[in-house]
Amino acid sequence: MSGRMTRGTAAVVLTAVLGAGAGGCSDDGDGGVSGAASKAASVGAEVTAAASSVASQGASALASATAEVRRRLDSVKGGVDARDDVKLGKPATDGDGRTTVPVTARNTADGTKSFAVQVDFRDGDGNLLDTVLVIVRDVAAGASGEATARSTHRLSGNVQVRVATALRY
């Protein structure tokens, strides 16, 4: 079993195109400049409001993903902290434009165990961009298991990854 889990989220795309025609007739004596400026300012305000709405939806989606990861981690019974036994590889971008990272969990317990690993995706300033939960199932005692964490949406820039929580159970 691959151990890879993905969680689909709605993608919000905003494309704003501003165009102003310089030509035209006007009765206000300024060749239509003030009317065009007024319309451009109005459109600019609408674009700013739409961008703010998109940012709010993005923050809402992140909050929702974070809450879902927390809920699933809280449901793990008998889990012990295993952050020191989990390593992340180098982030890459898959064919869908999402960030992926290999997850390796080393089982130091005496019996077969599974791991619940929360992987955070952050920008260069440390701001949280996305978070996912990966399950590495049925890792034999003394062995390592692998899975792949995949962001829920496309991330841009210098994406850094870290293990936020890892539970062995």
**93-114, pLDDT tens digit by residue?**
999 999 999 999 999 999 999 9
The reported pLDDT for the residue numbered 36 is 43
The reported pLDDT for the residue numbered 83 is 97
Q: 58 falls in which pLDDT band (50, 70, 90)?
A: low
The reported pLDDT for the residue numbered 57 is 52
Helices (H), 75-150: none
For residues 33-46, average pLDDT: 42
Higher per-residue pLDDT: 25 or 111: 111
Quick check: 98 and 151 in contact, CB under 8 A? yes
pLDDT reading at 33 higher than 80: no
Higher per-residue pLDDT: 82 or 24: 82
Backbone angles phi, psi at 54, to 5 degrees: -65, -45
For residues 124-134, average pLDDT: 95
Estimate to the nearest angstrom the gap between the alpha carbon of 121 and the chain centroid.
6
Strand, coil or helix: what is 6? coil
Higher per-residue pLDDT: 161 or 13: 161
What rounded mean pLDDT belongs to the chain?
75
For residues 116-123, average pLDDT: 97
Judged by average pLDDT, the poorest of 28-32, 35-39, 92-96, 158-162 is: 35-39
